[in-house]
Amino acid sequence: MEKETIAVGLDLGTTKIVAMIGKKNEYGKLEILGIGKAKSLGVARGVVNNITQTIQSIQQAVTEAENQSGYKIKDVVVGIAGQHIRSLQHSDYISRNNAEEVIGDKDIDLLINQVHKLAMLPGEEIIHVLPQEFKIDGQSEIKEPVGMYGGRLESSFHVVVGQASSIRNVGRCIQSAGIELSGITLEPLASADAVLSQEEKEAGVALIDIGGGTTDLAIFKDGIIRHTAVIPFGGNVITDDIKEGCSIIEKQAELLKIKFGSAWPGENRDNEIVSIPGLRGREPKEISLKNLSKIIHARVVEIVEQAFAEIKAYGHEDPRKKLIAGIVLTGGGAELKHIKQLVEYITGMDTRLGYPNEHLAGNSDEEISSPSYATAVGLVMNSIANGTNSAVKYQPEMVEQKVVYRQPAQTVEIEKEEVEEKVVEANTPAQPESTQSKISKSFFDKYLDKIKNFLDNAE
């Protein structure tokens, strides 16, 4: 009988840090075993700006997820975003020595590794190399070249690039929190896995993930990723605008946005007013909901217009590149009232809200099914695809006491941590490697090794 794989995703957001532990149930759906969340204090606009606070937030989220699930986390797949992320298109080819042999995974790996050697700007490194269509001996539009014959294998690639220092800071935080890094995934790709159907990816769809600090965009057409972008604005700039515009503190601005906020000013009448308690005995402050909506509307329009500019830059107006499935909104910002109608009004494209519940088991908590957890759910799915067993059951009888092994000549004391470590190794099942996981691992393995070597040498 196949042993279950426990997967862990870590979403390092600007507003919250989420650690999620899950596994696939017998129906192929994702069963969430535990979820931990902590206020994100050391991350701004998707980039770590305070190592110590980020480590504390990660540890808090991880401990909560472990306590809830009864599993000890060993390693995580982490999501990466931030304004330093950019993407580019690149084509490359290899000439095969023997055209009479069928093309295999090793040929695709060779081609991908060749792209990884591309010269980047100083301080930049390649995060993802995503093959699009392949060409074999001039024959184009091949989606799956494995098993075919040919001498020249060619492909167009979507290459995602980021600042090496920002990625290493993320690696340092995770390692210092006492866990290993098993994979790095661009956050819009993780969110896309969680909320988009294969039919939408085939028809053409733009995913807009409005997070706390950034708005991430991923465009798919013909089932292939075509464009990614990270816009350095998110829900926190809306909160800042409310704070400044209404002269209130940030906590009150956030609550106002969530409870009474609307992206459509026409919804509120002039006489609708909310009263905010004053600070330290001061008079309460009265705020018009119409003015509140106007402040929110102005900033949301700016975010949506930037996302729409990226969609137009991809070439949506070209009939062959038309995104028939329109736009899917996800992330915490997608829960803002009337944002769907505003996006449809600005872009003229069909829009729906993206919930990750399609991939979740039926008994999942309603909170986890909300758009704000789409990235975390996608990261757990990515961890399952990688095939790593990222968590093991607690061994309570080993935790309670010191174990002393007595030998005739001497007494050797073994600390409980060492015993736990051995138990972890003994209980980790051997993982069968699928072809898909081999190819997906080839994106990360060398890169992760590079990060780990860097972190080890920096000790």
> Which CATH number goes with the domain that contains 334?
3.30.420.40
For residue 16, is it within any domain?
A: no
Q: Let me know whether 152 and 220 are in one domain.
A: no
Q: Let me know whether 228 and 109 are in one domain.
A: no
- Residues 391, 397: Cα–Cα separation, whole Å: 18
Give the domain extent around 298. 214-353
Q: Let me know whether 340 and 239 are in one domain.
A: yes
For the CA atoms of 92, 93, 94, 95, the dihedral, rounded to the nearest 10 degrees, stands at -150
Confidence of residue 395 (pLDDT cuts 50, 70, 90): low
Q: Let me know whether 145 and 248 are in one domain.
A: no
For residue 343, is it within any domain?
A: yes
- The pTM score is 0.83
Q: Let me know whether 155 and 231 are in one domain.
A: no
Q: Let me know whether 121 and 233 are in one domain.
A: no
- Residues 331, 335: Cα–Cα separation, whole Å: 8
Q: Give the chain's domain count.
A: 2
Burial (0-12, 13-18, 19+ Cβ within 10 Å), 83: middle
Q: Let me know whether 223 and 331 are in one domain.
A: yes
Q: Let me know whether 153 and 228 are in one domain.
A: no
**pLDDT score, position 406:** 42
CATH number of the CATH domain containing 94: 3.30.1490.110
pLDDT at 40 over 70: yes
For residue 143, is it within any domain?
A: yes
Q: Let me know whether 234 and 148 are in one domain.
A: no
For residue 71, is it within any domain?
A: no
pLDDT digit string, tens, across residues 194-243: 999 999 999 999 999 999 989 999 999 999 999 999 998 899 999 999 99
Q: Let me know whether 232 and 147 are in one domain.
A: no
pLDDT at 53 over 90: yes
Burial (0-12, 13-18, 19+ Cβ within 10 Å), 449: exposed
Final residue in a domain of this structure, among 335, 353, 371: 353
pLDDT digit string, tens, across residues 112-165: 999 999 988 899 999 999 998 999 998 988 989 999 999 999 999 999 999 999
For residue 437, is it within any domain?
A: no
For residue 256, is it within any domain?
A: yes
For residue 406, is it within any domain?
A: no
Please state, for a pLDDT cut of 90, what percent of the chain lies above it: 62
Q: Let me know whether 155 and 284 are in one domain.
A: no
Q: Is residue 333 within 8 Å of residue 215, measured between CB atoms?
A: yes
Final residue in a domain of this structure, among 127, 143, 165: 165
pLDDT at 366 over 90: no
Q: Let me know whether 250 and 337 are in one domain.
A: yes
